Chain A
């Protein structure tokens, strides 16, 4: 093969793509020579490189100011080949490892090598979702690494900002309708030379966000980390020799690809796996823009095809359209999400690099919400659509694990890391404080194939989840005090193994001159579709806050005030605080003003369940009730367990009554069941007569318009006329 080092970067990248297309192997490497001849040396070098990335992250974490980076660990570093393929990554938000890869490739393809030039000491920055990023609030800092004058790789670091200067404060906006409201954009820009960030850029950046101190410290944190990575790479080259290292990089990526395929072969059964997920975006009556004033729904059909050689393809043909909201997901963000799921389920112990990304083929239909290809759209909060969409992948892989006998690998899905309380306000002393809460980085994990899900401890985009201490959040959000932080009953999906429980935080607005808050989550759909194998999904969210309360009068008189909303059917927050209680099944809310004494509830999702809840051992259900994971009425109605209570308030099982209840539920189910043909016909009539609510019709019509192929499938499945379409005035 031709030596690529003499080529321009652009040619090298094209050559690399060509070689992969022609051979199916990264850079055309069919044999892992280094690994085969000296396996231990090869593993040693990989271990050194990965160790350097992990320790760069551990050190850099301490420099950041934001609890999101420091306490929640929203920071990640990676090392790339000259063509921009990741070789190794640190821990942290590894969603981003591939996103930076796309940014590097963009710079190469745009000819940055000649203008603005790529030389030693240069520093680049990117946060443009159209170039592979997830949303503007994730900021990348990238440097080229040289050895004896030759560009031999890149180091990149990404951290999640507290505020990115969007039209509303926070990191996941909801009110935005287009790019120009997304906040501060840095589109693969050279921001520094001679190892120093340019002063004019620093000034511009700090004046473009609401929290300049955080911007500054997070940038320092990324830069400190990427230089540690560069130094480590130089050290390894000094020890192993330049040519060894060059060959090593390529083999490591190719091996990453091979490991992925070997895992697929080992763990899954070849075939076609299909599912779909949904999400609501109820803007009607809330929107700030006329074009946004509709109720939207997201459709995420997902097909995974696996063949006997271990090839894997994820296809989202049939996805609905983008829109005038910030939930549009660039292709890069979808690739990132695919990546993070792969690393949590299949290649956690392999070479976590772009090799597995290469092996996982994917199709995100152009023009759909998951690959709009339109830089003018808003991309502030793609997570709102992307998180529900990817629950499908957990479900599909779990079916494969089940079929292959890997019960212990099964996870039925995950809770929605939604409801990020955001906004900003001024304290009575005039000081600005951001509200950029990230305690949502700890929701319920779905039930596992051998045990319950993990309560309040999972985030799909960061396997190292954490909710942070209340005392740390209040240090920053000092006008928003915790009145409680508790498990929320009935949020865990029902099942033989229950989902990990969700939870809620009740916050008191206190000591502020002004404050605006907003948030989003799913409210009217089950974000992840169903549970697994008869399990139920976790509960959906809703919105609740109380304004003009009598809180201060109450506490002056030591009157008990409500501590949350454990049972919405016996709600205390509506009357218990006086004032005006706002409750809506729409969990999405645009920025609203709040004042001292107001109370705000955040709801964090539980995970779906696994298996029929009637098969859950009654003793486990009693423990669930004791632990407030389920209300007693749910225990009875869903799990069919009759509870006894002693004078101490301790629950016990009433076995005979439980048997009867469970038999009754089974009988009830039998009564309600109909032959499939009957069910199909009933649903078909609804479709034929278009008896669907507007957002559902809109969603399907978008899918049908964007993909004639999917449209055909839909029509053929439901035996619809060839001309069938959902007509809507404002599609």
Chain B
């Protein structure tokens, strides 16, 4: 153990716990947990790092100098946005007449994230509290058309007076977003120059941000939201990230600190637009899954993450991750390239009730969250949760919750389920608890099945990976009846997102709306190819600048060009890899073919509509520099029979209407090659893997379980 040399530190700083995942040269890893310290995240992070290192018997000062890579992901920006603890006041300048953006929003933001029933139940819809009060939003007359024509020139006097009055009101930053600025940024640039003059005159140095610079893409509200969220929630986190970098440096680390971005790359905390790192936690899991897929040479993987409040599903299809460009985050429409993940509000904390009028079980939408459920008395929850059901059914060990650190009371859970669920239905508490769990797992199953079908595939084409706090416990249930090629549960499922972060590339991504029509006309094709090449050159240069700023040589960068395109007339584009430089002949023909194939796969072949031509909406560039990533060590595969030291005894568990005697195993003590036959429960401090009757769990050379039916 003394020779262990930690090389990679990956951090997932959640709202309550900070997970660290530390990897050594040989790929061996250790997991640490500590409470998050929101005011100074570096503190909690270091404690979590200590916790991880103590398993290896080394201390932080001797470990830090060996680090070659540090990757951070976290929810602090998102929480700042959700809890409205952002920076401000922010001054906003928009096209005159459009000053009500934040108050009117778009109605979709009034029910974003609601369950089916509340989307229908309109009395529940509410507007977001605006991030920028109305009086801080100033309109100036100007108009650029969809075609990029200047219809109304920029009224410079109005810009001056807007900036004056924002300064007077104490604005600490100014954001500018004009209609169609993505098409032609000249008015935004002119407005910035005028604003800078005013600032100089007034002796002010507040920053000015342009939407045409941050995200030059169509969608006026989403573009403005993204720009303002950058200033409101993302930038204030920069200092936190710098603190983390400084503290690790003090401990002797010389590794650069990188932050996980929503498109799946990692970037420096100095990145120009930090909002790209707004969503990072759940993204980590998909990247970890891609790492496993590469190791195992899998083409298609369904990634499933069961948390306390949500069930997130992402898909790796033909080794590719899908990217969306207009996600809704914290009830805001954003223009943010984000790895596609679809979530439903179903997790281990989901609360269970009976509708008294119609005697129906309802799940959620609220969740006990960190308060777990009725079983955890100090949490003060009086309505049973899924965790309560799991406990009653014998799936969870009441004495080993978080390694025994949290005491949970099975009798309390049982009484609540009996009184609130079973009796109103005229059932016994165990059948009721199992029914509830089955219903939840059915919702999860429908959700992931819908996603697979939506891509034109079926489960037979995929392997499924289950992780997150509740994944190993419910994966057998939510995959039941679906013929996946394999079901995998990594033994480090609880820290899988942090692991995934460590697997991310060092990569910057830029998108730009271009709106070009590909037809058969040779002249037009030449123009398309030229415009694309120019756009990629520009994106390439911007990314090279980012790397230069990080003190790195961009010459070693690999540049991945792609486009988003659609059939002319459709409104939804999909992302297609491209070749740079692009030629107007075969190059474009190949691009179109790749698009046709991808479209048919995602939607329906019959919906292909090439008649009116193809529309290229965006040019996209991703620049990647090589970085150190964890290797997955292969252990020798031994006996199918587990070592007796792993045997923890037996427990009764309720499965499909019957009680079974399950064997209990300590996960840590199982070895590669061991086969655990269900009914069994494999326990680790932060994870419980349920192996139901009729199932077998095989631990492979990478310490990943394969859950098999039969």
Q: Which residues of A contact B (CB under 8 A)?
A: 39-40, 43-44, 47-48, 50-52, 54-55, 58-59, 61-67, 70-71, 91, 94, 213-214, 216-217, 220-221, 223-224, 227-228, 231-232, 239, 258-259, 262-263, 265-266, 343-345, 348-350, 352, 408-411, 441-442, 445, 448, 454-459, 463-472, 474-475, 478, 481-487, 503, 506, 508, 510-511, 555-556, 558, 560-561, 563-564, 626-628
Is B107 touching A465 in the complex (CB atoms < 8 A)?
yes
8 Å CB contacts to A: which residues of B435-488? Answer: 435-436, 438-439, 442-443, 446-447, 450-451, 453-454, 481
Q: How far is the CA of A151 from the CA of B99 in the complex (A)?
A: 56
Q: In the complex, what residues of B have CB within 8 A of residue A564's CB?
A: 97
B364 → A minimal CB distance (Å): 11
B645 at the binding interface (Cβ < 8 Å): no
Q: In the complex, what residues of B have CB within 8 A of residue A558's CB?
A: 141, 153, 155-157
Question: What number of A-B contacts does a CB cutoff of 8 Å give?
Answer: 258
Is A48 touching B97 in the complex (CB atoms < 8 A)?
no
Is A455 touching B104 in the complex (CB atoms < 8 A)?
yes
Is B607 touching A471 in the complex (CB atoms < 8 A)?
no
Q: In the complex, what residues of A have CB within 8 A of residue B362's CB?
A: 349
B17 at the binding interface (Cβ < 8 Å): no
Q: In the complex, what residues of B have CB within 8 A of residue A627's CB?
A: 103, 134
Is B569 touching A65 in the complex (CB atoms < 8 A)?
yes
Residue of B nearest to A555 (CB): B152
B220 at the binding interface (Cβ < 8 Å): yes
Partner-contacting stretch, out of B56-64, B77-85, B142-150: B142-150
> Interface centre among B145, B427, B572, B604, by most A CB within 10 Å?
B604
Is A47 touching B443 in the complex (CB atoms < 8 A)?
yes
Q: In the complex, what residues of B have CB within 8 A of residue A348's CB?
A: 117-118, 120-121
Q: How far is the CA of A58 from the CA of B135 in the complex (A)?
A: 37
Is B604 touching A343 in the complex (CB atoms < 8 A)?
no
Q: How far is the CA of A278 from the CA of B575 in the complex (A)?
A: 51
User: Lowest 5 CB-CB distances: which A-B pairs, in order?
Assistant: A484-B97, A40-B435, A55-B450, A457-B107, A51-B446
8 Å CB contacts to A: which residues of B639-694? Answer: none
Q: How far is the CA of A556 from the CA of B141 in the complex (A)?
A: 12
Q: How far is the CA of A65 from the CA of B145 in the complex (A)?
A: 21
Partner-contacting stretch, out of B122-130, B402-410, B532-540, B578-586: B122-130
A486 with B97: in contact, given A216-B609, A471-B146 (CB under 8 Å)?
A: yes
Give the contacting residue for A344; candidates B120, B180, B442; CB below 8 A. B120
Residue of B nearest to A410 (CB): B123
Q: How far is the CA of A528 from the CA of B180 in the complex (A)?
A: 38
Q: How far is the CA of A479 from the CA of B143 in the complex (A)?
A: 13
Q: How far is the CA of A470 from the CA of B96 in the complex (A)?
A: 13
Is A411 touching B123 in the complex (CB atoms < 8 A)?
yes
> Interface centre among A266, A457, A556, by most B CB within 10 Å?
A457
Is B447 touching A458 in the complex (CB atoms < 8 A)?
no
Is B219 touching A469 in the complex (CB atoms < 8 A)?
yes
Q: How far is the CA of A448 from the CA of B124 in the complex (A)?
A: 10
Is A217 touching B153 in the complex (CB atoms < 8 A)?
no
Is A70 touching B571 in the complex (CB atoms < 8 A)?
yes
Is A485 touching B98 in the complex (CB atoms < 8 A)?
yes
Is A442 touching B358 in the complex (CB atoms < 8 A)?
no
CB-defined A-B contacts under 8 Å, sample of 26 = A40-B438, A43-B439, A58-B450, A61-B572, A64-B571, A65-B570, A348-B118, A349-B362, A350-B360, A410-B123, A454-B110, A454-B125, A454-B126, A457-B104, A470-B98, A472-B218, A474-B145, A474-B146, A482-B98, A485-B98, A486-B100, A487-B104, A506-B97, A558-B141, A558-B157, A563-B96
Q: How far is the CA of A52 from the CA of B432 in the complex (A)?
A: 26
A91 with B151: in contact, given A454-B126, A469-B222 (CB under 8 Å)?
A: no
Is B106 touching A468 in the complex (CB atoms < 8 A)?
yes
Q: In the complex, what residues of A have CB within 8 A of residue B104's CB?
A: 442, 455-457, 467, 485, 487, 503
Is B121 touching A62 in the complex (CB atoms < 8 A)?
no
Is A503 touching B607 in the complex (CB atoms < 8 A)?
no
Is A466 touching B106 in the complex (CB atoms < 8 A)?
yes
A629 → B minimal CB distance (Å): 9
Give the contacting residue for A485; candidates B100, B360, B427, B436; CB below 8 A. B100
Is B453 touching A231 in the complex (CB atoms < 8 A)?
yes
* Interface flags, B154-181, vs A, CB<8A=1, else 0: 0111100000000000000000000110
Is A224 touching B603 in the complex (CB atoms < 8 A)?
yes
Is B438 touching A563 in the complex (CB atoms < 8 A)?
no
A472 with B117: in contact, given A62-B570, A216-B609, A224-B606 (CB under 8 Å)?
A: no
Q: How far is the CA of A485 from the CA of B139 in the complex (A)?
A: 11
Q: In the complex, what residues of A have CB within 8 A of residue B100's CB?
A: 485-487, 503
A40 with B358: in contact, given A50-B116, A64-B571, A214-B569 (CB under 8 Å)?
A: no
**Contacts beyond the supplied A62-B603, A627-B134: 20 A-B pairs with Cβ under 8 Å:** A39-B361, A62-B571, A64-B570, A213-B568, A213-B609, A217-B569, A220-B606, A223-B607, A228-B453, A266-B356, A409-B123, A454-B127, A457-B104, A459-B107, A469-B222, A474-B180, A482-B98, A503-B100, A511-B145, A558-B155
Is B446 touching A52 in the complex (CB atoms < 8 A)?
yes
Q: How far is the CA of A263 from the CA of B158 in the complex (A)?
A: 56
Is A47 touching B106 in the complex (CB atoms < 8 A)?
no
Give the contacting residue for B481; candidates A239, A445, A459, A483; CB below 8 A. A239
Is A223 touching B606 in the complex (CB atoms < 8 A)?
yes
Q: How far is the CA of A564 from the CA of B111 in the complex (A)?
A: 29
B221 at the binding interface (Cβ < 8 Å): yes
Is A445 touching B122 in the complex (CB atoms < 8 A)?
yes
Q: How far is the CA of A224 from the CA of B97 in the complex (A)?
A: 40
Is B218 touching A475 in the complex (CB atoms < 8 A)?
yes
Q: How far is the CA of A352 from the CA of B121 in the complex (A)?
A: 12
Q: How far is the CA of A441 from the CA of B107 in the complex (A)?
A: 9
B425 at the binding interface (Cβ < 8 Å): yes
Is A464 touching B119 in the complex (CB atoms < 8 A)?
yes
A346 → B minimal CB distance (Å): 9
Is A442 touching B603 in the complex (CB atoms < 8 A)?
no
A55 with B453: in contact, given A63-B570, A91-B119, A510-B151 (CB under 8 Å)?
A: yes
Is A471 touching B218 in the complex (CB atoms < 8 A)?
yes
Q: How far is the CA of A71 from the CA of B219 in the complex (A)?
A: 11
Is B358 touching A263 in the complex (CB atoms < 8 A)?
yes
Is B607 touching A457 in the complex (CB atoms < 8 A)?
no
8 Å CB contacts to A: which residues of B352-397? Answer: 355-358, 360-362
Q: How far is the CA of A445 from the CA of B435 in the complex (A)?
A: 39
B108 at the binding interface (Cβ < 8 Å): yes
Q: How far is the CA of A67 from the CA of B96 in the complex (A)?
A: 24
